Structure 1
Amino acid sequence: MLARLQALGTRPLLVALLIGLAAQLLFTFHLDQPSRILFDEVHYVPAAQALIDLEGPRNVEHPLLGKELIGAGIVALGDNPFGWRITATLAGTATVVGAFAFVWLLLGSMRAALVAAALAMLNQTLFVQARTAMLDVYLGAFVLWAMIVMLWAMRAPPGRVLGRWIGASALMGLAVAVKWAAIPYVALAALAFVAIRLRDARRAKRPLASAFSGKDQPHWPGLGVVPGLLILGAVSITVYFATFYPAFFYANQPLTWSSLLPQQFDMYALQTQKLRGHTYQSDWWSWPLMLRPIWYFYEWDRGAQRGVLLIGNPVIMWGGLVAVLACYWAWFRSRAAYPLAVALLWTASVALYAIIPKSLGFYYYYHLSGIFLCLVLAVAFHHFDRGRNKGREEWFAAAALIAFLYFYPILAASPLRDSQGFTHWMWFTSWR
Structure 2
Amino acid sequence: MRLRLSALATRPWLVALLIGLAAQALFAFHLDRPGGIMFDEVHYVPAAKALIELSGPRNIEHPLLGKELIALGMDLLGDNPFGWRLVPSLAGTATVLGVFTFLMVLMRGRMRVAVTGAALAMLNQSLFVQARTAMLDIFLGAFLLWGLVFLLWAMRGTRGQVLWRWCVGAALLGLATAVKWAAAPYIALVALAFVAIRLRDARRAHRPLAAALLSGDQPHWPGLPSLAGLALLGAISISVYFATFTPTFFYLTGATDGLSGLLHLQREMYAAQVQVLPHHNYQSDWWSWPLILRPIWFFYAWDHGAQRGVLLIGNPVIMWGGLVAVLVAYAVSFRGRALRPLALALLWTFSVAIYAIIPKSLGFYYYYHLSAIFLCLVLPVTFDHFDRTRDRGWEEWYVALALVCFGYFYPILSAAPLDGPMAFAHWTWFPGWR
TM-score bracket for this pair, using the shorter chain length: over 0.9
Match of 1:378 among 380, 387, 395: 380
8 Å Cα contact 2:282-2:295 kept in structure 1: yes
Structure 1 match to 2:308: 306
Give the Cα–Cα distance (whole angstroms) in 2 for the partners of residues 137 and 168 of structure 1.
18
Q: Per the alignment, do residues 84 and 5 of structure 1 end up closer, same or farther by CA in structure 2, a change over 3 Å counting? A: farther
Aligned-partner Cα distance in 2 for 1:216–1:388: 39
Structure 1 residues 271 and 154: alpha-carbon distance in aligned structure 2, compared to 1, 3 A threshold: same
1:48 corresponds to 2:55: no
The 1:2–1:286 alpha-carbon spacing in structure 2 relative to 1, beyond 3 Å, is farther
| Cα RMSD, aligned residues only | 1.0
**Distance (whole Å) between structure 1 residues aligned to residue 399 and residue 196 of structure 2:** 33
Q: 1:133 to 1:2 in 2, by over 3 A?
A: farther
Q: How many Å separate the matches in 1 of 2:77 and 2:347? A: 37
Deviates more, 1:309-318 or 1:200-209: 200-209
Unaligned runs of 5+ in 2: none
Paired residues for 1:95-110 under 5 Å: 95-108=95-108, 109-110=110-111
Distance in 1, Cα, partners of 2:387 & 2:2: 16
Task: Look up the match of 2:62.
Answer: 62
Cα offset for 1:204? 2.1
Displacement of 1:110 = 0.3
Change beyond 3 A, Cα 1:4–1:36: farther
Work out whether residues 56 and 250 of structure 1, in 8 Å CA contact, stay in contact via their aligned partners in 2: yes
Deviations 1:194-214 (A, max 9, x none): 111111112223233321133
Q: Please list the CA deviations of residues 90-118 of structure 1 after superposition, one character each: whole Å capped at 9, or x if unmatched.
A: 00000000000000000021000000000
Q: Which residue of 2 aligns with 1:30?
A: 30
Name the amino acid aligned to 2:427. W
1:111 and 1:230 map into 2 onto residues whose CA distance is: 37
Gaps of 5+ in 1: none
Query: Of 407, 410, 428, which residue of structure 2 is paired with 1:408?
Result: 410
By how many angstroms is 1:5 displaced?
4.5
Residues 6-25 of structure 1: matches in 2 within 5 Å? 6-25=6-25
TM alignment of 1:328-407, pairs within 5 A: 328-407=330-409
TM-superposed CA distance for 1:263, in Å, is 1.1
CA shift at 1:3, angstroms?
A: 5.9
What amino acid maps onto 2:166 in structure 1?
A: W
Paired position in structure 2 for 1:182? 183
Letter in 2 for 1:41: E
Dislocated runs of 4+, deviation >6 Å = none
Residue 245 of structure 1 pairs with residue 238 of structure 2: no
TM norm structure 1: 0.98
Q: Which amino acid aligns with 1:259?
A: G
8 Å CA contact retained: 1:2, 1:114: no
> Which 10-residue stretch deviates more, 327-336 or 147-156?
327-336
Partner of 2:222: 221
Report the residue type matching 1:113 in the other structure: A
Secondary structure at 1:366 match in 2: helix
Distance 1:155 1:60, change over 3 A: same
Deviation at 1:400, TM superposition (A): 0.2
Amino acid at match of 2:433: W
Asked if the contact 1:170–1:239 (Cα under 8 Å) also holds between the matched residues in 2, the reply is yes
Q: Percent identical across equivalent pairs?
A: 69
Structure 2 residue 138 is matched with structure 1 residue 119: no
Q: Which amino acid aligns with 1:77?
A: L
TM (norm. structure 2) is 0.98
Note if contact 1:297-1:306 (Cα within 8 Å) is conserved in structure 2: yes
User: Aligned partners of 2:167, 2:217: CA distance in 1, in Å?
Assistant: 21
**Structure 1, residues 72-98: CA drift from partner, whole Å, max 9, x if none?**
000011111000000000000000000
Instruction: Report the secondary structure of 2:299's partner residue.
Output: strand
Equivalent residue, structure 1, for 2:325: 323
Distance (Å, rounded) in 2 between the aligned partners of 1:213 and 1:384 = 39
- Separation of aligned partners in 2, 1:119 and 1:210: 42
- Once residues 161 and 125 of structure 1 are traced to their aligned partners in structure 2, the CA distance between those partners, rounded to angstroms, is 34
Check the 8 A contact 2:216/2:226 in 1, yes or no: no
Task: Give the secondary structure class of the aligned counterpart of 1:305.
Answer: strand
